[in-house]
Structure formats: structure tokens, C-alpha cells
Amino acid sequence: MPGRKAVLIRVDPKVHAALQKWAADELRSLNAQIDFLLRQALKRAGRLPAGLDEESAESEAGDAESDAR
């Protein structure tokens, strides 16, 4: 997979706290949780690029391993 893009976003502190808690509940990093939610939204909207679905399963497994360290 090509390199990942870094994106700076501004969110309400309460939204950030809720996302952080949700990520912890799912044993993901905040970054992995946001990526997961964006991919779900793209899939529901029918806008997920071809081949990205298989890639997401591989990247989630890799993220979980690196988050555990």
C-alpha cells in the first residue's frame, strides 16, 4: 500500500473525547478509529474505492499490532 496521508482536523473537545473513548473501547488508536469510521461512511455511501475493502482488513490488523507495542 502506498504511504498514508497526514491530515490535521479540528474537532470539538467533546467530540474528541467521545472518539477517544470509543477507540479505547474498540482497542484501537484514535487514528485507527477515525480511519475505520471514514471507511464505513464511504462504504455506506457507495463511495469506497475498489480494492480498498480488502486493504482495510489488512491495515486494521497491522494497526492493532503497532498500537499494542
The pLDDT of residue 57: 52
Is residue 64's pLDDT more than 90? no
The whole-angstrom separation of Cα 45 and Cα 61 is: 24
Q: Which long-range contacts (CB under 8 A, 24 or more apart) does 41-44 make?
A: none
Helix (H, G, I), strand (E, B) or coil at 63: helix
The whole-angstrom separation of Cα 59 and Cα 36 is: 10
Helix, strand, coil % (nearest 5) of the chain? 65, 0, 35
Is residue 69's pLDDT more than 50? no
Tens digit of each residue's pLDDT (9 = 90 or more) over 12-62: 999 999 999 999 999 999 999 999 999 999 999 999 999 887 665 555 555
